[in-house]
Amino acid sequence: MGLLRYVVIVWAIASVIATIVLVDQKSYGGRPYYLVEHLFLPCAVTLTLAIVAVLQGWLDVGGAAASLAVGLSHSASHASLLFALLAFFVSSSCATSVGKRAKRRLDPTYKKGGQRNIVQVFSNGAVATSAALSYLYFSAFSAPGSDGYESISFQFVDPALLSAVACMAALAGCCGDTWASEFGILQGSNLPRHVLTLRPVPAGTNGGISFIGTACSLLGGLLVGVAFFVGMSVQHIIDKDVAGLTLSCWPAIPIGALSGLLCSTIDSILGATLQYSGRDTSKNCVVNQPGPDVEHITGRDILDNHAVNFLSSLLTALIVPAVVYSLSEEPWSV
């Protein structure tokens, strides 16, 4: 874990530098993209949110530092990406706080407010951050004066749109997966079922699914999709492109919902097969590590929860844009 923390620190610093370079590039070429509005203001917004998150107990100090890289890349890229990030982060943090007593009983490592550390921020935000930087890259190095990059539109599929969709899909997926985990574990006496065998498993078992959890994964993704839609709409209004507003923005909503369901399903499959789950008989709870008093339930001890979250987010961010591209009537080509 110590080495991983240093890797995350290097990633965060590199992400901040990349954001600054790309925003500086966008300020040239006759674009109305100035450093004050699209770098200094995002820095202020991101720093404010990080401080609030620490005060609320949503992030520890290390997590807040890593969140600066995540927040800066999103807020400097596009309003839709910032709105999607806020929807994911705030709603997931609030969801983690629901049912605190029951969660403490089921998970001895539960922290108030679901306080995330630097590694958790990376596992949930690295893919979305990379996609946001990809959007910045394609919009920064597009031909000066070209349109379609400031106001993201589903009417024409290009690299900038695919990057934005990947970012939204990663955030919607993480949000849906978090909602499924945080609310699904509170379904009472109805035990979840193993995603592959469908046999009942104890609450908190990796790879366990339930009706409530599945529904919440859709709703969590839907929330991020709606937030992305609102951000797109705001940008269209700012750019005085109201005519094609509804037509060009609405696909974000179902894409967000399906991304939440997809990521949660991938997470469950990975958790059921590559992540250890056992019942600690001395503490009467489900744990993720084998031990002397632990009875095996499912999965192999190959991946931890951080790795599963990262891979689920990555696969979702790759699959969803590929589907959007394949279904587009007017696809982009080299």
Nearest to 208 by CA among 225, 226, 228, 187: 187
For 80, list phi and psi in degrees, rounded to 5: -65, -35
The answer to the question of residue 333 being in a domain is: no
Nearest to 204 by CA among 277, 113, 274: 277
Determine the Cα–Cα distance for residues 294 and 213; give it in Å rounded to an integer: 26
The answer to the question of residue 334 being in a domain is: no
Determine the Cα–Cα distance for residues 126 and 95; give it in Å rounded to an integer: 21
Tokens 């990379």, residue?
130
Report the side by side order of strands in the sheet with 285-287: 285-287, 277-280, 294-298
Tokens 């991938």, residue?
266
Q: Six-digit token pair at 325? A: 């591209």
Q: Is 173 left (phi over 0), alpha (psi -120 to 50) or beta?
A: alpha
How many Cβ atoms sit within 10 Å of the Cβ of residue 304? Answer: 16
**Whole-number pLDDT of residue 32:** 47
**Whole-number pLDDT of residue 179:** 92
The answer to the question of residue 85 being in a domain is: yes
**Whole-number pLDDT of residue 101:** 62
Domain count, the chain: 1
Q: Six-digit token pair at 289? A: 């590590």
Is the dihedral angle over the CA atoms 209, 86, 72, 319 positive or is it negative? positive
Q: Six-digit token pair at 7? A: 């890797």
Determine the Cα–Cα distance for residues 309 and 287; give it in Å rounded to an integer: 17
Determine the Cα–Cα distance for residues 309 and 123; give it in Å rounded to an integer: 6
Nearest to 166 by CA among 89, 247, 80, 239: 80
Nearest to 131 by CA among 154, 157, 165, 155: 165
Q: Which domain holds residue 92?
A: 2-327
For 278, list phi and psi in degrees, rounded to 5: -145, 160
Q: Would you give per-residue pLDDT tens digits along the chain (334 residues)?
A: 567 778 888 888 888 888 888 877 766 544 444 555 666 777 787 888 888 888 888 888 888 888 888 988 888 888 889 999 999 999 998 888 776 666 555 565 555 555 788 888 999 999 999 999 999 888 776 544 444 345 566 666 788 889 999 999 999 999 999 999 888 777 666 788 999 998 988 888 888 898 889 999 999 999 999 999 888 877 767 665 555 555 567 888 999 999 999 999 999 999 999 999 888 888 778 888 888 888 888 889 899 989 999 999 999 999 999 998 888 765 444 3
The answer to the question of residue 332 being in a domain is: no
**Whole-number pLDDT of residue 48:** 85
Single-letter code of the amino acid located at 195: V
**Whole-number pLDDT of residue 5:** 79
The answer to the question of residue 81 being in a domain is: yes
Q: Where are the beta strands (DSSP E) in the chain?
A: 193-194, 208-209, 277-280, 285-287, 294-298
The answer to the question of residue 211 being in a domain is: yes
Q: Six-digit token pair at 36? A: 């004050």
Question: Which residues fall within 8 angstroms of residue 294, CB to CB, at 6 or more apart?
Answer: 278, 279, 280, 281, 287
- DSSP, collapsed to helix, strand or coil, labels residue 176 as helix
The answer to the question of residue 19 being in a domain is: yes
